């Protein structure tokens, strides 16, 4: 019965987020083309992945679970059967009300802040790439950076927005002599 839990967990995948990643990449390349500036450092930090989380998740899947009698690579081949679903209320509560709802709100706020910064930079002729890249990076930061800077929700985006507005007002700029 425990193996069925793994199956249902893997069933819950949201689609469509790939378009949001695509938009961010497009903005960075387009902006770097327009300003004739380097893009690789800004793209590279978004492609770092997370070696530590990869290690932990695969350790859990391939080393820990078999010792408990669960073989994750065999799980997708079980035929789906909702009668094996043990605690529906608990699953619904965990997945839908907390994780999904909050991630939807967080990501929407973050996305619109990035979009607004991109549009504003386009109007004013400022470079948008660093803002877009850092905004996306704080959402996908690898361990241990995300441990010391827990800013992946919309809190981080508020810092970015405040930073951008201050920059527009003339703060954080290099003095030109």
Partner 1 sequence: MFSDPVFTGLIIFSIITLYWSILGAYVLSKSGAISGKSAPILVAYSFLAWLTSRIMYMNFPEVPPHPILIISGLVESPQNILTTVYIYYRTKIIKLKWMPYIALYSIFLAANRISLYLCRNLPVPDILLLPRVFSEWASLPAWLYVYVKSNKIFSMKQASIIICYQVLIWFSLVFMLHYLALPYSQISALEVIMNYPITLLTLMFIDKYRLSYLEHTSQ
Confirm or reject binding of residue 1 to partner 1 (CB under 8 A).
no
DSSP state, residue 143: T
Choice from 1, 2, 6, 26 touching partner 1 (CB under 8 A): 26
What 3-state DSSP class applies to 118? helix
Give the span between the Cα atoms of 24 and 165, in whole angstroms.
20
Q: Which is nearer to partner 1, 129 or 152 (CB)?
A: 129
φ, ψ of residue 98 in degrees (nearest 5) = -95, -65
Helix axis angle for 129-137 and 101-124, nearest 10°, is 170
Give the span between the Cα atoms of 4 and 88, in whole angstroms.
13
| Distance in Å, CB of 177 to partner 1, minimum | 27
Confirm or reject binding of residue 86 to partner 1 (CB under 8 A).
no
Choice from 2, 9, 10, 105 touching partner 1 (CB under 8 A): 10
Helix axis angle for 154-168 and 129-137, nearest 10°, is 160
Which window, 17-25, 128-136, 144-152, 166-174, contacts partner 1 (CB under 8 A)? 17-25
Taking a C-beta distance cutoff of 8 angstroms, is the pair 51, 142 a contact? yes
| Distance in Å, CB of 99 to partner 1, minimum | 11
Could you list the residues that contact partner 1 (CB under 8 A)?
Answer: 8, 10-20, 22-23, 25-27, 29-30, 32-33, 36, 38-40, 43-44, 47-52, 54-56, 58-59, 62-63, 73-74, 76-80, 82, 85, 88-89, 91-92, 95-96, 100, 104, 108, 111, 115, 118
């Amino acid at each position: 019965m425990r193996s069925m839990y793994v199956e249902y967990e893997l069933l819950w995948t949201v689609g469509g987020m790939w378009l949001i990643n695509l938009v961010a990449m497009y903005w960075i390349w387009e902006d770097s083309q327009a300003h004739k500036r380097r893009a690789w450092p800004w793209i590279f930090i978004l492609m770092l992945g997370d070696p530590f989380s990869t290690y932990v998740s695969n350790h859990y899947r391939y080393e820990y679970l078999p010792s408990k009698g669960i073989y994750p690579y065999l799980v997708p081949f079980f035929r789906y059967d909702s009668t094996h679903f043990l605690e529906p209320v608990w699953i619904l509560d965990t997945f839908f009300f907390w994780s999904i709802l909050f991630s939807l709100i967080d990501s929407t706020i973050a996305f619109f802040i990035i979009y607004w910064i991109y549009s504003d930079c386009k109007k004013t002729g400022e470079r948008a790439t660093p803002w877009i890249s850092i905004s996306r990076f704080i959402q996908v930061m690898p361990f241990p950076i995300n441990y010391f800077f827990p800013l992946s929700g919309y809190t981080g985006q508020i810092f970015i927005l405040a930073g951008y507005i201050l920059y527009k007002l003339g703060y954080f700029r290099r003095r030109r002599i």
